[in-house]
A and B are shown apart, each in its own frame.
Chain A
Amino acid sequence: MTLDAILFMLCTLVGYLLAALVLLNKIFAAKTKKNVS
């Protein structure tokens, strides 16, 4: 496997992983406020 392919693979996987962690954190943090009129 070439070095640039390894770098691109790491960037892609880390990028998607970080995005997933940020979004999952928001979902489970339950910031959504209740009883908003």
Chain B
Amino acid sequence: MSTREGTKLALKEQWGSRWGFIAAALGMAIGTGNIWRFPREVAQNGGGPFLVAWTVAMLIWAVPIIAAELVIGRKTRRGTIGAFRDFSGPKTTWMGTWVGLVSTLIMCYYAVVTGWCIKYLTLAMTQTFKAGITTAETTQIWLDFSSSPQQTIFYHALAIGIAGAIVLMGVNKGIEKVCKVIIPLLFLLLVFCALWVSQLPGALQGYQFLFDPQWSLLLNSKVWVEAFTQVSWSTGAGWGLMVTYAIYTKRQEDVAGNAMTIGIGDNIGALLAGLVVLPALFALSASPEAAKAIALEGGTGLTFIYLSQLFGTLSGGNWLALFFFAALTLAALSSLIPMLEVGVVNLMDLGLTRKLATWLMITFGFLGGLPSAVNMTFFENQDTVTGYALWISGLFFMVALLRYGVEKARREDINTPWTDFNFGKWFNVLFYAAPLCSILLLWDTVKSLLSADKPWQVFGTSWSLGTIAFQFALYLAIGLFTMKFFNQRIQPALKGDCDYDA
């Protein structure tokens, strides 16, 4: 490329290698949802049948959405807002604002969660989970920590500060370098913990629970709904994070291969976490009934109260706790980084430098996360509302792809001459089926929300149709009111941008 624009663009940031991009994308996908949400979902939905439905959901729902995001990011070289404008027309810019806003709001409370993980890593490092520790003691440790605003705010600030420092260093020297260390280390830690746990007497009951082949449950719609929900929360499909990372990919990057690697890699991360958590619960709990009850509760209780106590019953258990919380912290941190990057790139598209954009996002993330750091109801509210908003985000990506042309995307942007994997024409069906799945999931959610207590309560609740509708209306209003501004202010991609690495 000999044009002036091309020379300028050649200086743009990009991934140093395909592995660097895959490591960052896996870091994005593998988070706390794999480690504390997945074991609970498997436990609640009958083991084996859930694993089948979850694998199918990854292949037919997450992979097409991730592929769509990779195409959109690589094609437009813009953050979520500019990407929607340039890919599917200026009338859809508000969809990009929705996607970016939701991911940024998730970043605010996810930094709080990452802070909890860092706190528990420090506790494991200081030998807190010593032999003989009781559930009452680990409950007290959790309550003392979660009810102390000074502590939760300090660790929240630490989490957002670490992620911000990495983003500040840039894509190649910061995000890529860090993820190339974090991801192999995370997998090694999980494999090591899984092997350790497999040696414990009673672990077999955990495997039986995880792989229980109750095939009749495959006819139960709840199992499928939960499997799709887990995939949407875990893979990061539809969050806009892949669009952001795809900006820095080479033109020759293999979209189909990368989408499958991210989906399968994320599921392997969750499976490894299941192979640690469930056998450990069954091996170390007083009875199989007690283990089942803890597994069904899941979440923070399972991770910070019960597992901490169970590790203490084991000889050398504090080391296992250390490795487990190190894995959890790395998973959380590598997911927090792209959430920050989404906002940074959108600000950079408006002409800001990376340094200024990152400092603005660190400040926004810190201030926006404060309510979640000090109030658990607010935290749960944000976790629920933004979780459902992600299904709409995923839907928007598929709408953008449908407007662009599914067959055109498959032929011109996915099945390029230099790819290892190609999507056959049959894959177009999945591009049409994915938004349908999103609509069915939303419909099922609305039905269950309507049958809940006080469905129209807006404030002071963590889970109601009213609070979800109110906040969705707010996101939509922000998207619509800022559309004209963004359409005018975001710089369009320069001609030949897709070829900057050629």
Chain A interfacial positions (CB closer than 8 Å to B):
1-2, 4-6, 8-9, 12-13, 16, 19-20, 23, 26-28, 30-37
- Contacting pair A36 B252 (CB below 8 A): yes
Find the A residue at minimum CB distance from B257.
A26
Q: How far is the CA of A37 from the CA of B419 in the complex (A)?
A: 14
Evaluate whether A5 and B207 lie within 8 angstroms (CB atoms) in the complex, with A27-B22, A35-B502 already known: yes
The 3 A-B residue pairs with the shortest CB-CB distance in the complex, in nearest-first order: A9-B211, A33-B418, A23-B261
Q: How far is the CA of A30 from the CA of B252 in the complex (A)?
A: 11
B164 at the interface (CB under 8 A from A): no
B156 at the interface (CB under 8 A from A): no
Evaluate whether A5 and B18 lie within 8 angstroms (CB atoms) in the complex, with A20-B268, A26-B257, A32-B252 already known: no
A-B residue pair count with CB separations less than 8 angstroms: 70
Chain B interfacial positions (CB closer than 8 Å to A):
18-19, 22, 48, 51, 204-205, 207-208, 210-213, 250-254, 257, 260-261, 264-265, 267-268, 271, 417-421, 502
Find the A residue at minimum CB distance from B18.
A27
Contacts of A1 in B (CB 8 A): 204-205, 207-208
CB distance from A27 to the nearest CB of B (A): 6
Find the A residue at minimum CB distance from B253.
A32
Find the A residue at minimum CB distance from B501.
A34
Q: How far is the CA of A5 from the CA of B20 in the complex (A)?
A: 37
CB distance from A15 to the nearest CB of B (A): 8
A-B pairs with beta carbons under 8 Å apart, 23 shown: A1-B204, A1-B205, A2-B208, A5-B48, A5-B207, A5-B212, A9-B207, A12-B211, A19-B260, A20-B264, A23-B257, A23-B261, A23-B264, A23-B265, A26-B257, A27-B22, A28-B19, A31-B420, A32-B418, A32-B420, A33-B417, A36-B417, A36-B418
Q: How far is the CA of A6 from the CA of B443 in the complex (A)?
A: 37
Contacts of A19 in B (CB 8 A): 260, 264
CB distance from B298 to the nearest CB of A (A): 21
Q: How far is the CA of A12 from the CA of B47 in the complex (A)?
A: 12
CB distance from A20 to the nearest CB of B (A): 6
CB distance from A22 to the nearest CB of B (A): 9
- Contacting pair A33 B264 (CB below 8 A): no
- Contacting pair A16 B48 (CB below 8 A): no
Contacts of A36 in B (CB 8 A): 251-252, 417-418, 502
Find the B residue at minimum CB distance from A16.
B268
Among B205, B252, B417, find the residue whose CB has the most chain A CB atoms closer than 10 A: B252
CB distance from A19 to the nearest CB of B (A): 5
Task: For B208, give its contact among A5, A12, A35 (CB under 8 Å).
Answer: A5
Q: How far is the CA of A20 from the CA of B262 in the complex (A)?
A: 10
Task: For B254, give its contact among A5, A8, A12, A32 (CB under 8 Å).
Answer: A32
Task: For A8, give its contact among B205, B211, B251 (CB under 8 Å).
Answer: B211
Q: How far is the CA of A2 from the CA of B19 in the complex (A)?
A: 39
Find the B residue at minimum CB distance from A23.
B261
Contacts of B211 in A (CB 8 A): 5-6, 8-9, 12
Contacts of B250 in A (CB 8 A): 32
- Contacting pair B418 A16 (CB below 8 A): no
Contacts of B502 in A (CB 8 A): 35-37
CB distance from A2 to the nearest CB of B (A): 7
- Contacting pair B257 A8 (CB below 8 A): no
CB distance from B212 to the nearest CB of A (A): 6
CB distance from A21 to the nearest CB of B (A): 11
Contacts of A9 in B (CB 8 A): 207, 210-211
CB distance from B215 to the nearest CB of A (A): 9
Contacts of B204 in A (CB 8 A): 1
CB distance from B256 to the nearest CB of A (A): 11
Contacts of B213 in A (CB 8 A): 2, 4-5, 8
- Contacting pair B207 A16 (CB below 8 A): no
Q: How far is the CA of A1 from the CA of B205 in the complex (A)?
A: 6
Q: How far is the CA of A35 from the CA of B499 in the complex (A)?
A: 10
Q: How far is the CA of A32 from the CA of B417 in the complex (A)?
A: 10
